Structure 1
Amino acid sequence: MISFQVPQAIQQANLSAVRLIVSDLDGTLTASDRLSAALIEAFEQLAAAEIRVLISTGRSVGWGMALAQYLPVAGVMTENGGAICWPEQAPIILSPIAAIADHRQQLQQCFQQIQQHWPQLQAAADNAFRQTDWAFDVTGLTEADLTQIAAIAMGQGLDFVYSAVQCHLLPRGQSKGRSLWQVCQSTFPALQPEQIVTVGDSPNDASLFAEFPLSVGVANLVPYLHRLPQPPRYLCQQPEVAGFLELVEVLLRDRA
């Protein structure tokens, strides 16, 4: 078990300097797998307070293009840091992949090797719309299973992450945190680390917690805390989008 400091309650945070929220999607902005009117209202309140929102998700580029177009957010980083989608623009691949077709063949072959050990696993329906990663079932996998799958991926020159929703095979070194630094340098160069708050709910958000000083977990992250190299600095009392709305309340409180 990894030792860690217990996160502080989000109500104790001073977030008055924050100008950008970078949030996971599933399990963080959703409730029972749905987006709510309360979330859209919160996005609008944040915009009025001049706080931008960037979604960082394990969902595909295809999902990201739609979300960036229809939600009142700055953009959507997809595939656990693999690409960024801005409104009205073509996706930008963030990972240095020389040949997408060859890379996707490598991902599929690795998944087929994993299936030899866990034949019940099914590939995600949206893999056809992915560029940098390969997604598949997480349901029913134990911690020991996940550790073995990570070892298989590493043996094939790939990385592996998982969330409460899916497992992902990735190019070596690709992560939400690393790609967020890249996006900030190119698109938000004036922002300092203390002006960015990251929020998530699963192990695939670990790099967001580790690489940014202001990090927040919603309450459904608690079962995964012992699996994280570094926990978030703050923890919400409520799960899913209710926890995100707690964070929004603190952000707006600090501007009152």
Structure 2
Amino acid sequence: MHDFDFQNARYLFTDVDDTLTTDGRLRPETYSALWRLADAGIIIIPVTGGCAGWCDQIIRTWPVQAVIGEGGSFYFSRAANGSVDCRYWAERESHKADRLAIIEAISALNPALDIALSKDHHFRLVDVAIDYNQDRRLSDAQVREVMQELLNRGFRVKKSSIHINVAQGTFDKCAMTRRLAAELFNLSTEELKAQSVFIGDAPNDESMFAFFPQSVGVANIVPHLDQLKCRPAYVTSRRCGAGFVELADQWLASIALPGSVTRK
């Protein structure tokens, strides 16, 4: 990452699971890196497959301006007075109907696969998450079978580092990122690309890697690279949260250079 150009970067979009977290935990040095970036004027927006319950906690307690959740199906933003607003990709009622259809389809899959929904299932608003690598373990072959069966039924299926996320609709992480940027910050597509950095770790980040020229994968993305048609422009030397700290340190060092301007 020695030639990474932070000159025009003002916005940081970041995945959460296994990008900010390390072995399921948010380590203090990673959380500190978020605050150091925010204090330097960087606008931080997590973009996660994580549930609405998690996103509510993030928007209320982390140094972030907004958070995109459940793979791009909604975003939470915080007003100047501290109140939180939620904007869905489509109508809330249509999302509820889609979710019921997904749960019904999952229940009809091969019982031998021993599929379990994620523990955060009841805190989700739009998508449905199947646990394959968090509290439960599915083999690579089982993951492929589950994903293909659900794709055959017409659902949108993405794999994070811990879940298989299933949804209906045209949204994904990148589509909602572009909508959020226009609605909250009045950014055009080209302005968003020029002023942003994205960092992630998994196949469900591929649309972000494809969109952002300044894209970064933490080192634990390496086993997934063969699955990606669009890869990150850079890969950190360290994994998970330590890789995020690596990016933050380099970004903050560039801001501290003579002639640079802290963005407040």
TM-score between the two structures when normalised by the length of structure 2: 0.87
Q: Does 1:31 align with 2:22?
A: yes
Q: Does 1:125 align with 2:119?
A: yes
How far apart in 1 are the matches of 2:23 and 2:151?
A: 33
Identical amino acids, percent of aligned pairs: 26
Q: Which deviates more, 68-77 or 34-43?
A: 34-43
Q: In structure 1, give the amino acid aligned to 2:161.
A: A
Check the 8 A contact 2:19/2:243 in 1, yes or no.
yes
Q: Structure 2 vs 1, CA of residues 155 and 254 (structure 1 numbering), >3 Å: closer, same or farther?
A: same
How far apart in 1 are the matches of 2:174 and 2:245?
A: 22
Q: Structure 2 vs 1, CA of residues 170 and 54 (structure 1 numbering), >3 Å: closer, same or farther?
A: same
Check the 8 A contact 2:181/2:192 in 1, yes or no.
no
Check the 8 A contact 1:16/1:251 in 2, yes or no.
no
Q: In structure 2, give the amino acid aligned to 1:49.
A: A
Deviation, structure 1 residue 110: 1.9
How far apart in 2 are the matches of 1:51 and 1:73?
A: 9
Q: In structure 2, give the amino acid aligned to 1:131.
A: L
How far apart in 2 are the matches of 1:178 and 1:114?
A: 29
Q: Structure 2 vs 1, CA of residues 89 and 46 (structure 1 numbering), >3 Å: closer, same or farther?
A: same
Deviation, structure 1 residue 192: 3.2
Unaligned runs of 5+ in 1: 1-9
Identify the residue that residue 134 of structure 1 maps to in structure 2: 128
Secondary structure in 1 aligned to 2:129? strand
Deviation, structure 1 residue 144: 4.0
Secondary structure in 1 aligned to 2:148? helix
* Deviation string, structure 1 residues 84-116 (Cα, Å, up to 9, x no partner): 112321422124565233212111012113353
Q: In structure 1, give the amino acid aligned to 2:64.
A: V
Secondary structure in 1 aligned to 2:67? strand
Secondary structure in 2 aligned to 1:136? strand
Identify the residue that residue 179 of structure 1 maps to in structure 2: 176
Check the 8 A contact 2:98/2:167 in 1, yes or no.
no
How far apart in 2 are the matches of 1:41 and 1:101?
A: 37
Q: Map 1:94-109; keep pairs closer than 5 Å.
A: 94-95=89-90, 99-109=94-104
Q: Does 1:148 align with 2:139?
A: no
Q: Map 1:95-244; keep pairs closer than 5 Å.
A: 95=90, 99-116=94-111, 118=113, 120-139=114-133, 140-190=137-187, 191-244=191-244
Secondary structure in 2 aligned to 1:146? helix
* Deviation string, structure 1 residues 52-87 (Cα, Å, up to 9, x no partner): 110011111111011110111112110011111123
Q: Does 1:89 align with 2:84?
A: yes
Unaligned runs of 5+ in 2: 258-264
How far apart in 1 are the matches of 2:218 and 2:157?
A: 23
Check the 8 A contact 1:138/1:162 in 2, yes or no.
no
Identify the residue that residue 262 of structure 2 maps to in structure 1: none
